[in-house]
């Protein structure tokens, strides 16, 4: 009986069965990379600060777990991003208009986060702002992180 329980616990640990954790879909690396590039291009066209894209880890906005995938990021003084709308609201409106479903939305005094889903695609959106100077009610710094769950990209072929 102990062997059965130990085996079930190992399966739960390895496969997430019965853990209560929701596993986000993971796009194949080429599709996730293309989605990250598309989001970067859209943000670059609309906002002033530079947008970086890399493969790495990002925090799940729902529970803080670390998730591997493509990360699209803006970090800049607030006046560079706050024109008529701020990036995470602009992205939210664009995703909704394209038929994406938004889940786990949270909005607070220092940030906002949500998950967006469309078919096999998922994007974690997390925005944060800081008040570094007086008056305290005006944000000075803004950061936006978009995370796209994905396995690591294939290594480049070896040079001959």
Output 131-134 pairs: Cβ under 8 A, ≥24 positions apart.
none
Q: What pLDDT score was predicted for residue 139?
A: 59
Q: Provide the token pair at 55.
A: 């493969």
User: pLDDT tens, 84-119?
Assistant: 678 898 999 999 999 999 987 888 878 899 999 999
Taking the model in full, what pTM does it have?
A: 0.76
Query: What are the Cα distances from residue 96, in Å, to 51, 66, 99, 102, 103?
Result: 22, 25, 5, 7, 11
Instruction: Tell me how far apart the 2 most distant CA atoms of the chain are, in Å.
Output: 64
**How sure is the predictor about 69, in pLDDT bands with cuts at 50, 70 and 90?**
very high
- Could you give the CA distance from residue 44 to residue 40 in angstroms, rounded to a whole number? 6
- Could you give the CA distance from residue 69 to residue 35 in angstroms, rounded to a whole number? 11
Query: What are the Cα distances from residue 109, in Å, to 41, 74, 77, 112, 137?
Result: 28, 19, 17, 8, 10
Is the Cβ–Cβ distance between 56 and 71 less than 8 Å? yes
Q: Which residue has the higher pLDDT, 52 or 9?
A: 52
pLDDT exceeds 80 at position 138: no
Q: Using CA of residue 128, residue 23, residue 64, residue 151, what is the dihedral sign?
A: negative
- Most confident among 3-12, 96-105, 149-158 (mean pLDDT): 96-105
Q: pLDDT above 90 covers what percent of the chain? A: 42
Is the Cβ–Cβ distance between 42 and 72 less than 8 Å? no
């Amino acid at each position: 009986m102990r062997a059965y329980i130990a085996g079930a616990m190992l399966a739960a640990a390895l496969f997430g069965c019965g853990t209560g954790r929701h596993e986000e879909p993971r796009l194949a690396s080429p599709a996730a990379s293309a989605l990250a590039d598309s989001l970067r291009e859209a943000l670059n066209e609309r906002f002033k600060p530079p947008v970086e894209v890399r493969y790495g880890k990002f925090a799940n906005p729902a529970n803080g777990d670390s998730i591997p995938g493509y990360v699209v990021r803006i970090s800049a003084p607030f006046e560079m991003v706050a024109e008529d709308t701020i990036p995470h609201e602009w992205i939210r409106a664009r995703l909704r208009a394209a038929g994406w479903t938004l889940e786990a939305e949270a909005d607070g005094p220092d940030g906002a986060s949500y998950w967006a889903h469309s078919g096999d695609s998922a994007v974690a959106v997390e925005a944060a702002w800081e008040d570094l100077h007086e008056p305290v009610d005006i944000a000075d710094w803004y950061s936006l992180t978009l995370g796209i769950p994905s396995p690591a990209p294939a290594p480049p072929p070896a040079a001959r």
